[in-house]
């Protein structure tokens, strides 16, 4: 087991937005367990100020390019930007693209920008937990904007998207059927649509397809998600996109929707932690594997097994040593 990180030493550096401390803090969060929990707890009072924007869409749609351009546009307003990238094709988790390397150089020398890829973890809810915790950290570090890039596939990534304030769903022309395939769950929570690569044929068609889908999905009473066109590689449409993000922010604040959204985010995070914790306790203390194996042999049904394991977990929590909570893995 690695040595316990010295949070007392780390905290001032994070709050001073020192890149090395921020990077180290994010590693603590990725590793999970008690140190991650303690770090989030200690940062908590400092976060809640940043504008948190999610950029989601299929691989190759231009999300990273958009993140770069948005970061530049925010910098031009004199604001700082932290970005978390959950894309498995991102530079640090393998499959580095030439475009990604160029982007790193372009923004690497700017202390007002911090970009980091998060490794995917196998644990249930691990990715959404560490990403959302990472947003807290960047927020507490004082970044004005936090951009979160995800492919938006799988429940864990959808959960990531559910814990940002403004959701940008990116697609490209010519994906026809893929547009249909945008997960219903993502469609519902999109605040803005971007047709990127509008330099290609079929941008008009893509806009129409989206408009039709939105019409089918029913009217959004207070906020109708706009559909914007961008050519991220050339920086076209970025000013309009940032303006739309700011409009959405104004809507969130003036309508009270921001408060409601943040309440929902907190609920989702608590639920994720609870699931992780109950499952971990069932595995380690209630002997999930052995119980399931015995139940399998005896032909027991899943409900009875889950009921018994849950009852065991609850009983252990009541009677057992109160620090019975284990480090994950």
Residues lying near ligand GDP in the complex (CB under 6 A) are found at: 59-65, 87, 89, 97, 99, 196-197, 199, 231-233
Q: Restricting to residues 77-106, which ones interact with Mg ion according to CB under 5 A?
A: 87
CB atoms within 10 A of CB 35: 18
197 is in the binding site of which of Mg ion, ligand GDP, none (Cβ under 5 to 8 A by kind)?
ligand GDP
Query: Which residue in the set 64, 130, 131, 272 belongs to the binding site for Mg ion (CB under 5 A)?
Result: 64
DSSP structural state of residue 62: S
Q: Min. distance of Cβ 201 from ligand GDP in angstroms?
A: 11
CA distance 311 to 285: 12
Q: At what angle do helices 33-43 and 19-31 cross, to 10 degrees?
A: 130
Residue 18 interface partner, choices Mg ion, ligand GDP, none, CB cut-off 5-8 Å depending on type: none
Q: Which does 65 bind (CB under 5 to 8 A by kind): ligand GDP, Mg ion, none?
A: ligand GDP
Comparing CB distances to ligand GDP, the nearer of 21 and 245 is: 245
Nearer to ligand GDP, 80 or 230 (CB): 230
C-beta of 40: minimal distance to ligand GDP in Å? 27
> Of Mg ion, ligand GDP, none, which one sits near residue 226, judging by CB under 5 to 8 A according to partner kind?
none
Q: Does 130 participate in binding Mg ion (rule CB under 5 A)? A: no
CB nearer Mg ion, residue 95 or residue 324: 95
Q: Pick one of ligand GDP, Mg ion, none as the site partner of residue 190 (Cβ within 5 to 8 A by kind).
A: none
The C-alpha atoms of residue 90 and residue 135 are separated, in whole angstroms, by 18
CA distances from 100 to 91, 147, 209, 304, 323 (A): 6, 16, 30, 50, 44
* Full DSSP string of 223-263: -PPPEEE-BGGGTBTHHHHHHHHHHHHHHHHHHSHHHHHHH
Q: Taking CB under 5 A as the rule, does residue 156 contact Mg ion?
A: no
> Measured from the CB atom, is 64 or 166 closer to ligand GDP?
64
DSSP three-state, residue 43: helix
Task: Output the CA–CA distances (angstroms, integers) from residue 83 to 43, 76, 143, 302, 323, in the order listed.
Answer: 18, 16, 9, 42, 35
For binding to Mg ion (CB under 5 A), which residues are involved? 63-64, 87
């Amino acid at each position: 087991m690695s040595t316990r990180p010295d949070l007392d030493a780390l905290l001032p550096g994070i709050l001073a937005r020192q890149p090395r401390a921020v990077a180290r803090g994010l590693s603590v969060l990725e590793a999970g367990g008690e140190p991650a929990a303690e770090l989030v707890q200690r940062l908590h009072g400092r976060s809640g100020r940043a504008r948190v924007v999610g950029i989601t869409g299929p691989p190759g749609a231009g999300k990273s390019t958009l993140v770069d351009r948005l970061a530049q546009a925010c910098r031009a307003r004199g604001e700082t930007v932290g970005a978390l990238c959950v894309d498995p094709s991102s530079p640090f988790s393998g499959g580095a693209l030439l475009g990604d390397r160029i982007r790193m150089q372009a923004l690497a020398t700017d202390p007002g920008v911090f970009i980091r890829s998060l490794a995917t973890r196998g644990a249930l809810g691990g990715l959404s937990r560490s990403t959302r915790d990472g947003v807290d950290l960047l927020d507490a570090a004082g970044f004005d904007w936090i951009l979160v890039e995800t492919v938006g596939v799988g429940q864990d990534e959808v959960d990531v998207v559910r814990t940002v304030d403004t959701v940008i769903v990116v697609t490209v022309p010519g994906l026809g059927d893929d547009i249909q395939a945008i997960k219903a769950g993502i469609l519902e929570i999109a605040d803005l649509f971007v047709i990127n690569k509008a330099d290609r044929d079929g941008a008009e068609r893509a806009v129409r397809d989206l408009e039709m889908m939105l019409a089918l999905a029913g009217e959004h009473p207070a906020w109708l998600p706009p559909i914007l066109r961008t050519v991220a590689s050339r920086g076209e449409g970025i000013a309009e996109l940032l303006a739309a993000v700011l409009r959405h922010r104004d809507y969130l604040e003036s309508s009270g929707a921001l408060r409601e959204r943040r309440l929902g985010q907190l609920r989702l995070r608590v639920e994720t932690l609870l699931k992780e914790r109950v499952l971990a306790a069932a595995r380690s203390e209630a002997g999930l594997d052995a119980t399931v194996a015995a139940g399998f042999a005896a032909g027991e049904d899943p409900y009875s097994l889950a009921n018994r394991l849950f009852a065991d977990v609850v009983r252990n929590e009541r009677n057992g040593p109160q620090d019975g909570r284990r480090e994950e893995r």
